[in-house]
Amino acid sequence: MTHTPGSGRAEQATRITATPWYRQLYVQVLMAIVIGIVLGWRWPDLATDMEPIGTTFITAMKMLIGPIVFLTIIGGIAGVADLRKVGRTGVKALAYFQVGTLVALLTGLVAINVVRLGDGVHADPSTLRTSGDAGQYISQGEHQHWWEFLTGIVPDSFFGPFVEGNILQVIFLAVVFGIAVKMVGKTGEPITAAVGKLTEVVFKVLSFVMKAAPLGAFGAMAYAIGKFGLSTLTSLGSLIVLFYVTSALFVVAVLGGVLALYVRLNIFQLFRYFKEEFWLILGTSTAEPALPGLMRKLRFMGAERSTVGLVVPTGYSFNLDGAAIYLSLATLYIAQATDTSLSIGEQLGLLAVMLLTSKGAAGVAGGGFIALTATLSTVGSVPAAGIMLIFGIDKFMSECRALVNFFGNAVATLVVARWENGLDLERARAVLAGKEGEPPMTAEDTPETARPAVAPSAARTAEVTP
């Protein structure tokens, strides 16, 4: 039996780098979710004490979102040869966002008109008492105008958006700063280089925080089940099921159809590719912790850095497909439950209002309820107090909203990238098929630097072989 020199060491290194299933992040998060559900079901008092674990992880992720978005957008714009390309990308993204939001709103509207779950409830709005968080959200929504998401883009100070976590304002600052850096020419080159290095450092910090993702998912899920109880699911279970089924059909049929017909990619392969982010969102009930991973993996697929850096963060405020489905479905359910008759014309008028009030709902505590109340207050025909009918189950619908928002932005970025001829389709297909290995947890993960120069097995060997 012959033995090639060094072959044993290579095989050993390859075996060492093959990550066991129990050490994979998505498996750990899934296990943490299951443990959290069991704890919340059997020992609810103890489970509610786990809230700080979940909130601390989410806070740590939010701490990094602003810097990541700011640095990524600046790096993307500064690296574009022609600034007109940035403008085209932005316009195309906003156009796609509006069309996508409208289709999502129509999907929710059709679903609740076909399955009229609110009929027969006969709730009297005058007897619905608003209190606690729900009362606060109603108050905020009643004082929120449809145009505030536009005027609120400009911050009062440079550091304010980072402190408050206002991603829309961070995007505004980053775009202005990135254009300025590009326009000063050679003077801005050291700044561009510094931005790249600082981005690398921030992503390294992110890799540290992500190690606590299973703990965060456990704490968030245990608290949710312990606080609200599984019994809450049965009280309005039919509405939850309708929302989940409608959302699933939208993602598979609408988003999957767009992805297949225009981008020529498979939505189910995309699900598998983003499995870590899927379980992370399901456990934490928010899409924000998955934003860095979404940007990193899209760039690894072959989407241009400038496109990803501009479309993904903007989509987190302007492309909320899950929130749109929820908004139209919840509005019509409340109307049906309170015996408020709405004609087809009035429902279409609601859609026009929702196109504006749905923007900016992500990243804000109670954002869905605030947008819902703002819609009802603007129209005036449906009582805002009716949101108390669905307040108890909102927590169990937030996961689905966040998941649809996430995949909506993934598809949107791929569509805009293909539209701008900024997508390496051959590489994207290879990545989704698992032929390019796993994307590295780094900032500098463009296809050129991320693609292994040798076979995947040899690349894994080189990572651990001195």
Phi-psi sector, 320: left (phi>0), alpha (psi -120 to 50), beta: beta
Band of the pLDDT at 368, cuts 50, 70, 90? low
Angle formed at CA 57 by CA 56 and CA 61, multiple of 5 degrees = 115
The pLDDT tens digits of the residues spanning 283-298 come to: 877 788 888 889 899 9
Which has the higher per-residue pLDDT, 466 or 306? 306
Tokens of 98: 């509006």
Helices (H), 131-236: 132-142, 148-151, 160-164, 167-183, 189-210, 213-228, 231-235
> pLDDT, tens digit, for every residue of 261-291?
999 999 999 999 998 888 888 887 778 888 8
> Which of 5-9, 198-202, 453-457 has the lowest average pLDDT?
453-457
| Average pLDDT, integer, range 228-241 | 67
Q: Which carries the bigger pLDDT value, residue 413 or residue 140?
A: 413
C-alpha torsion angle, residues 273, 276, 281, 287 (rounded to 10): -60
- Would you state the pLDDT for residue 465? 35
Strand partners, 423: 303
Answer yes or no: is pLDDT of 87 > 80. yes
- When pLDDT is averaged across residues 53-73 and rounded to a whole number, the result is 82
Evaluate if residue 170 carries a pLDDT over 60: yes
Q: Which amino acid is at 447?
A: P
Convert the pLDDT of each residue in 119-138 to its tens digit: 776 766 666 555 445 555 55
Q: Which pLDDT score is estimated for 137?
A: 53
* Cβ neighbours of 275 (radius 10 Å): 15
For range 180-209, the mean pLDDT:
85
d(CA 177, CA 179): 6
Whether 395 has a pLDDT exceeding 60, the answer reads yes
The pLDDT-based confidence of 390 (bands split at 50, 70, 90) is confident
**Residue 126 CB neighbour total at 10 angstroms:** 8
Task: Give the confidence band of 227 by pLDDT, cuts at 50, 70, 90.
Answer: confident
Residue with the bigger pLDDT between 128 and 259: it is 259
Q: Which of 38-47, 65-74, 130-139, 356-365 comes out lowest in average pLDDT?
A: 130-139
The contacts of residue 148 (CB under 8 Å, 6+ apart) are: none
Question: Distance of CA 21 to CAs 28, 359, 386, 432, Å?
Answer: 9, 39, 46, 20
- Rounded Cα distance between 373 and 106, Å, is 19
Of residues 216 and 249, more confidence is placed in 249
pTM, two decimals, is 0.75
Backbone angles phi, psi at 420, to 5 degrees: -95, 10
pLDDT of residue 150: 61
120 burial (CB, 10 Å; 0-12 / 13-18 / 19+) is: exposed
Give the pLDDT band of residue 179 (cuts 50, 70, 90): confident
**Percent of the chain scored above 70 by pLDDT?**
75
